[in-house]
């Protein structure tokens, strides 16, 4: 913990805040910095650091929460699978309460479906090994951070010949989503606070397109208050022209330029990169991970032919706009009234990493 | 002879709850072995209890316990059931006196475990001088409950003039916490999920009547007390704030903490203020008495880490504000839906 305390030292925080103020004065416009990681969203909200930033520096949250970006069709498929006989659905807790229409896995469980909340795909695999008479379907959601673990578990299950384990892959890739937001001409983003954990896997190279093609600086940030403030300072220095616009790794203690080659290798081995639907954004080219043909017998979408209903996002819910960073939770008419953590309408309120949940919990 | 029959069974059968011979055997050989109160021994339908002639009011409370796992570092469902009810009475300013105990046991439950739980309940009751005077035992079919569920109700004699409402809380009052929060929930979760941190983390499960007793001897300016159980400090403080219509300001650096708790919370992503305690008390007290109360608490084994963690303020009425260790401010909200199930 001593290690962490250094990153929370009040003195350093004071120095960083005053440097941020100084640099921001040189920038004569409003600067929008987007974080695309739910853990950053939560860390920023929990620390209360937004209030210390200069007026012209605005932090906006992007599509960084894996549960939030999963479209209704994914949740519908999961619910349909949970209705099949002798099936257990294993999921991370955040997915449990996400509503689709008037259904959710939580409601399915109350009606008798077998839903297990797990902390890791390994736990789901363990259930499969312990209950050989039941089919276990693991809901594999998450970005590049969790995808390698799902991949490893799929590989292990195949090698071990475990026949009652499947994965419903909803894994997504972050850089294509960032690019879609940047291409959206209505959307001005002046800098990206890039996700630390995703980058530990993919490294810094995939972000190069942002400074090189769009002139947007990127800083790969850690999760402590000092990390985030330091990253904001680095971005402002690039935006003000003091430093060259590029991709910088602030989170050096975890992230290398080349990422984690082992993890990337196993992801390539198990998954195919496919076009995928994102809630609020729509279909994004080459942004999803589907289980490859060689591992087809472990792919829940291949084994169970369920037809998800096409459903629009709930009426009045701005999760889509909020995920893109265009709207703030407080802009949504449902926020805090019809949509609360107890009765979430949209996924951004359900997930502990959702922008609305963070805003509701700490900032309102 | 009855005793010998019961000991032959290693497990609980439906017959043990059917009200016949086996039920009698179970009660006489096992339950009365540990709860040997004179009022209970004759197994009347209701216990006739006496209360001191000078007492005007009694406190009456009930709670059910469904914790999983049944045994966890620092306690078990039995200790939890007794301490939980004692604590509810103690924070109401009552001296816990009588407890009822109702057991719902799953068919096939190990008698050895049952004995261990009863022993632990008896020990906790003895320590706080409360008498278990009535009870009930039911057995349900396999799969219809998870091992054992326990309900305890308690009667306490209201001795102290501690307001049970929030009406006396005033701006400037001090907020005291008796010890490190969250240890119960962490111990239960780590034990349930087999998270082996190679640590000696124990639940804070304990009866705090003695601790409160000591404080009430030195101060009559306690405005309010509550034990922060499910929902932890966050729920407890929000209940107080919304009820008294003042703001509560909490200083993160004053919340008693250990490296162990901090590290586990950090790894698992928990906010310690949302985690349940089972042996802590939050007190709102007149600021003039605050220091004295803290020093009295610190002399008690359950209050060694007591601290003034905040103040009642006129700002942000009905809300709880946390000043973080970084010096920034944010709200503490009522935890919602995300707490882990079956921790008590």
- The backbone torsions φ and ψ at residue A147, rounded to the nearest 5 degrees and listed phi first, read -55, -40
Segment A266-273 long-range contacts (CB within 8 Å, at least 24 positions apart): A266/A148, A266/A151, A266/A152, A266/A155, A267/A144, A267/A147, A267/A148, A267/A151, A267/A201, A269/A151, A269/A155, A270/A150, A270/A151, A270/A154, A270/A155, A270/A295, A271/A147, A271/A151, A271/A169, A271/A171, A273/A173
Q: From chain B, pick out residues whose CB is under 8 angstroms from the CB of A360.
A: 333
Q: Render pLDDT for A203-262 as a digit per residue (tens, 0 to 9).
A: 999 999 999 999 999 999 999 999 999 999 999 999 999 999 999 999 999 999 999 999
Among B197, B322, B330, which would you mutate to test the A interface (most chain A Cβ atoms within 10 Å of its Cβ)? B330
Contact yes or no for B185/B72 (Cβ under 8 A): no
ipTM greater than 0.90, yes or no?
no
Q: From chain B, pick out residues whose CB is under 8 angstroms from the CB of A110.
A: none
Indicate where chain B has its CATH 3.90.650.10 domain(s): 174-332
Which pLDDT score is estimated for B338? 53
Coil, strand or helix at B245: coil
Nearest to A317 by CA among A79, A74, A101: A101
Which pLDDT score is estimated for B198? 66
B222-226 and B148-158 as β-strands: parallel, antiparallel, unpaired?
unpaired
In the DSSP assignment, the letter for residue A218 is E
Q: Render pLDDT for A38-97 as a digit per residue (tens, 0 to 9).
A: 999 989 998 889 888 999 999 999 998 888 889 888 999 999 999 998 999 999 988 888
Q: Give the confidence band of B185 by pLDDT, cuts at 50, 70, 90.
A: very high
Lowest mean pLDDT among A194-203, A335-344, B314-323: A335-344
Indicate where chain B has its CATH 3.30.1330.10 domain(s): 2-158
- The backbone torsions φ and ψ at residue A210, rounded to the nearest 5 degrees and listed phi first, read -70, -50
**Could you give the domains of chain A?**
67-173+265-303 (3.40.50.11740)
Which pLDDT score is estimated for B1? 42
The correct CATH number of B2-158 out of 2.60.40.10, 3.40.190.10, 1.10.3720.10, 3.30.1330.10 is: 3.30.1330.10
Are residues A225 and B326, on separate chains, in Cβ contact within 8 Å? Answer: yes
Which pLDDT score is estimated for A341? 82
B3 in A contact zone (CB under 8 Å): no
The rounded Cα A261 to chain-centroid distance in angstroms is: 21
A2 in B contact zone (CB under 8 Å): no
Contact yes or no for A78/A105 (Cβ under 8 A): yes
Q: Is the pLDDT of residue A308 over 80?
A: no
Which pLDDT score is estimated for A251? 97
Are residues B330 and A46, on separate chains, in Cβ contact within 8 Å? Answer: yes
Between chain A and chain B, the number of residue pairs with CB atoms below 8 A apart is: 51
Residue whose entry in the numeric block shows the structure tokens 């260790």: B325
| Contact residues, B window 219-248, toward A, CB-based 8 Å cutoff | none
Topology of B174-332 in CATH? Phosphoribosyl-aminoimidazole Synthetase; Chain A, domain 2 (3.90.650)
Q: Which of B325, B328, B337 sits opposite A49 (nearest CB)?
A: B328
Contact yes or no for A15/A52 (Cβ under 8 A): no
Which pLDDT score is estimated for B2? 44
């Amino acid at each position: 913990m001593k290690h962490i305390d250094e990153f929370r030292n009040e003195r350093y925080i004071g120095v960083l805040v005053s440097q941020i103020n100084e640099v921001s004065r040189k920038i004569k416009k409003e600067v929008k910095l987007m974080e695309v990681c739910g853990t950053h969203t939560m860390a920023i909200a929990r620390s209360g650091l937004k209030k210390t930033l200069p007026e012209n520096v605005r932090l906006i949250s992007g599509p960084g929460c894996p549960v939030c970006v999963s479209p209704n069709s994914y949740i519908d498929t999961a619910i349909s699978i949970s209705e099949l006989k002798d099936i257990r659905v294993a999921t991370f807790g955040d997915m449990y309460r996400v509503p689709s229409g008037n259904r959710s896995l939580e409601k399915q469980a109350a009606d008798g479906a077998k839903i297990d909340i797990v902390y890791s795909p390994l736990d789901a695999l363990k259930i499969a090994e312990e209950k050989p008479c039941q089919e276990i379907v693991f809901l594999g959601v998450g970005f590049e951070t969790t995808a390698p673990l799902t991949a490893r578990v799929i590989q292990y299950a195949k090698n071990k010949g475990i026949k009652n384990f499947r994965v419903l892959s909803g894994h997504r890739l972050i850089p294509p989503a960032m690019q879609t937001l940047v291409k959206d001409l209505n959307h001005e983003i002046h800098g990206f606070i890039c996700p630390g954990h995703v980058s530990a896997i993919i490294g810094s190279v995939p972000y190069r397109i942002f400074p090189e093609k769009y002139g947007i600086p990127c800083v790969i940030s850690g999760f402590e208050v000092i990390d985030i403030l330091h990253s904001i300072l680095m971005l402002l220095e690039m935006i003000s022209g003091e430093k060259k616009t590029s991709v910088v790794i602030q989170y050096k203690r975890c992230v290398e330029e080349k990422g984690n080659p082992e993890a990337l290798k196993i992801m390539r081995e198990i998954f195919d990169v496919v076009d995928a639907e994102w809630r609020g954004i729509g279909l994004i080219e080459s942004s999803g991970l589907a289980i490859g043909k060689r591992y087809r017998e472990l792919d829940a979408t291949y084994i169970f032919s369920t037809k998800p209903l096409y459903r629009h996002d709930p009426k009045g819910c701005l999760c889509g706009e909020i995920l893109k960073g265009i709207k703030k939770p407080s802009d949504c008419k449902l926020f805090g009234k019809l949509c609360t953590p107890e009765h979430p309408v949209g996924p951004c309120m359900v997930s502990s990493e959702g922008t609305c949940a963070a805003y509701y919990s700490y900032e309102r | 002879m009855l005793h010998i029959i019961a000991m032959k069974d290693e497990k609980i059968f439906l017959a043990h709850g059917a009200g016949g011979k086996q039920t009698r055997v179970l009660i006489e050989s096992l339950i009365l072995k540990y709860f040997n109160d004179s009022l209970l021994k004759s197994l009347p339908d209701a216990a006739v209890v006496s209360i001191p002639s000078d007492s005007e009011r009694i406190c009456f409370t009930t709670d059910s316990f469904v914790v999983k796992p049944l045994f966890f570092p620092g306690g078990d469902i039995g200790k939890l059931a007794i301490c939980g009810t004692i604590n509810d009475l103690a924070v109401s300013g009552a001296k816990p006196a009588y407890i009822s105990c109702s057991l719902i046991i799953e068919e096939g439950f190990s008698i050895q475990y049952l004995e261990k739980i009863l022993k632990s309940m008896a020990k906790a009751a003895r320590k706080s001088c409360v008498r278990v005077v009535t009870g009930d035992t039911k057995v349900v079919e396999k799969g219809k409950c998870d091992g054992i569920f326990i309900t305890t109700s308690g009667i306490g004699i209201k001795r102290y003039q501690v307001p049970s409402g929030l009406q006396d809380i005033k701006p400037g009052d001090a907020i005291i916490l008796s010890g490190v929060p969250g240890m119960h929930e962490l111990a239960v979760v780590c034990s349930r999920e087999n998270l082996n941190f190679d640590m000696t983390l124990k639940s804070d499960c304990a009866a705090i009547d003695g601790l409160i007793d000591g404080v009430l001897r030195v101060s009559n300016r306690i405005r309010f007390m509550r034990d922060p159980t499910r929902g932890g400090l966050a729920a407890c403080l929000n209940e107080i704030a919304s009820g008294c219509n003042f703001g509560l300001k909490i200083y993160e650096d004053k919340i008693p903490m250990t490296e162990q708790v901090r590290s586990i919370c950090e790894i698992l992503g928990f906010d310690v203020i949302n985690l349940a305690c089972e042996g802590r008390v939050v007190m709102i007290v007149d600021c003039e008495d605050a220091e004295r109360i803290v020093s009295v608490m610190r002399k008690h084994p359950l209050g060694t880490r007591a601290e003034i963690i905040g103040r009642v303020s006129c700002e942000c009425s009905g809300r709880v504000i946390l000043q973080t260790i970084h010096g920034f401010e944010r709200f503490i909200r009522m935890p919602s839906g995300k707490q882990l199930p079956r921790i008590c």
